[in-house]
C-alpha cells in the first residue's frame, strides 16, 4: 500500500511539473533580457525603458482598440547588471502606482547606454516570461592621427589687433 501511495504522489509531482512550468510553479510575468556588445560581451548599466504601445488580439496582431487610460504615460524601468541582464516585472504610473505587467500588449523597448547607438524595438508580450537579446553597437568614431594638420605655432606672426571689419559690417 505504501508503494502505491508513493507512486501516486510521484505521478502528481510529475503531472504538476508538466502543467505549471516546473517545481517552482508557473513562469513569472516579466519582460527580461540580455544586452551585449558586438563581440558578445555584456553591457552593464544600460538603461531600459518599457512603454505600452498597443493591444494585441489573440493572433498576436495589433488592434485599433485604445489603450486603457490607466496605462497612459506608464513605463517600466530597469538597469542592466554587470552581466548585462535586466528584468521588468511591472509598469508604474507617473505617480508611482504599480500597474502590474498587462499581457497581450505591444511594448516599445528602448535600451540606452552612453557611447552606444540607441536601440528601440516593439515587442509583443503575451504572458509569462519574454526574453529579449539586444546587441548595442558603439557610436564612437575612430579618428586617425595623421600629424599636425594645423600649424599652431606663433613664431613671429602677428595675432592681429582686433580692429578689422566685423561680420555684418
- Total domains in the fold of the chain: 1
Asked if residue 155 belongs to a domain, the reply is no
Cβ(88)–Cβ(51) under 8 Å? no
Residue 85 lies in a domain: yes
Best CA proximity match to 101, nearest among 120, 123, 128, 121:
128
Contacts of 18 (CB under 8 A, 6+ apart): none
Domain presence at residue 146: no
Report for 50-59, 82-91, 139-148: range of highest mean pLDDT: 82-91
13 inside domain: no
pLDDT tens readout for residues 98-150: 999 998 999 999 999 999 999 999 999 999 999 999 999 998 666 566 665 55
Range of the domain at 28: 18-134
Whether the CB-CB separation of 42 and 34 falls below 8 Å is answered with: yes
Amino acid at each position: 500500500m505504501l508503494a502505491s501511495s508513493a507512486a501516486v504522489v510521484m505521478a502528481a509531482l510529475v503531472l504538476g511539473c508538466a502543467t505549471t512550468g516546473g517545481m517552482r510553479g508557473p513562469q513569472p510575468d516579466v519582460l527580461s533580457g540580455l544586452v551585449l556588445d558586438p563581440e558578445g560581451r555584456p553591457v552593464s548599466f544600460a538603461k531600459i525603458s518599457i512603454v505600452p504601445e498597443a493591444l494585441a488580439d489573440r493572433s498576436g496582431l495589433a488592434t485599433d482598440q485604445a489603450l486603457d487610460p490607466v496605462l497612459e504615460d506608464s513605463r517600466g524601468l530597469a538597469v542592466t547588471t554587470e552581466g548585462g541582464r535586466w528584468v521588468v516585472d511591472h509598469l508604474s504610473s507617473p505617480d508611482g502606482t504599480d500597474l502590474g505587467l498587462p499581457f497581450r500588449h505591444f511594448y516599445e523597448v528602448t535600451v540606452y547606454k552612453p557611447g552606444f547607438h540607441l536601440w528601440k524595438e516593439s515587442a509583443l508580450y503575451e504572458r509569462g516570461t519574454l526574453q529579449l537579446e539586444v546587441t548595442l553597437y558603439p557610436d564612437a568614431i575612430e579618428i586617425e592621427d595623421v600629424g599636425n594638420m594645423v600649424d599652431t605655432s606663433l613664431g613671429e606672426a602677428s595675432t592681429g589687433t582686433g580692429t578689422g571689419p566685423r561680420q555684418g559690417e
